[in-house]
Amino acid sequence: MATSRLAAHLPSLFGPSRRAAWRLSLVRRGLAAGAILLALHLTLGSARSPAASPQARTASGPVVTLPLAAPAGRLDPGDAVAVYLPGQARPVVTGATVMATPTSSGAVPTVGVSVAATDVGELVQQMTPEAGGRSGFVVVRDG
């Protein structure tokens, strides 16, 4: 019988006897079954939709659809976000809530966020051409 690496490292368990060959075959089958189960677990985990966060927030104000300066990263409905202007360190709006997954199917990527009623005016002012002709907003997840 040909020796294996396991037999070389553990000769008392996997040496040249028939019983040791039987143990070696059990270990190989166990490792193969473990690899198959791990691959199945990883495949099903990546195919499954992400679980809803237990702390899902609800809308507390009007919903505004914002044009984005660049496609947003991974934002899910219910995420708390801050809205920035490109190149600015201070946010225009904090405490906004994402209402829908960002879409990039149109000419400009957009995202719907719920903001406080007092913040709507500030966002609308920043969207006007007189504000400098900015191309959109940057939405960043809080926390």
Spatial distance between the Cα atoms of 5 and 10, rounded to a whole number of angstroms: 9
The total number of structural domains in the chain stands at 2
In a domain, residue 131? The reply is yes
Tell me which of 57-61, 117-121, 126-130 is least confident. Answer: 57-61
Cα separation, 76 vs 94, in Å, equals 17
1: closest CA among 13, 25, 17? Answer: 17
Neighbours of 49 (CB within 10 A): 5
Q: Which domain holds residue 33?
A: 5-47
83 plus 25 within the same structural domain: no
How far is it, in rounded angstroms, from Cα 118 to Cα 116? 5
What integer pLDDT is reported at residue 50 of this predicted model?
62
Give yes or no: residues 26 and 93 share one domain. no
Using the predicted structure, report yes or no on whether residue 75 has a pLDDT greater than 90. Answer: no
Contact 10, 3 (CB under 8 A): no
d(CA 99, CA 60): 11
58: in domain: no
Closest CA relative to residue 92, chosen from 130, 58, 132, 125: 125
Q: Is the pLDDT of residue 21 over 90?
A: no
Task: Note whether residue 126 is domain-resident.
Answer: yes
CA gyration radius, the chain = 28
The per-residue pLDDT for 117 is 85
Quick one: 131 and 68 in the same domain?
yes
User: Does 120 fall in a domain?
Assistant: yes
Q: What angle do CA 110, 114, 115 make, to 5 degrees?
A: 110
pLDDT at 54: 46
**pLDDT per residue over 76-118, tens digit each?**
888 888 888 888 889 888 888 988 877 877 778 888 889 888 8
pLDDT at 9 over 60: yes
Higher pLDDT, 7 or 63: 63
For tokens 């966002």, what's the residue? 123
Q: Does position 49 have pLDDT exceeding 70, yes or no?
A: no
Q: Could you say which DSSP state residue 105 is in?
A: S
Instruction: Judge if 67 and 133 occupy the same domain.
Output: yes
- Average confidence (pLDDT) over 122-133: 71
Query: Could you tell me the pLDDT band of residue 59, with boundaries at 50, 70 and 90?
Result: low
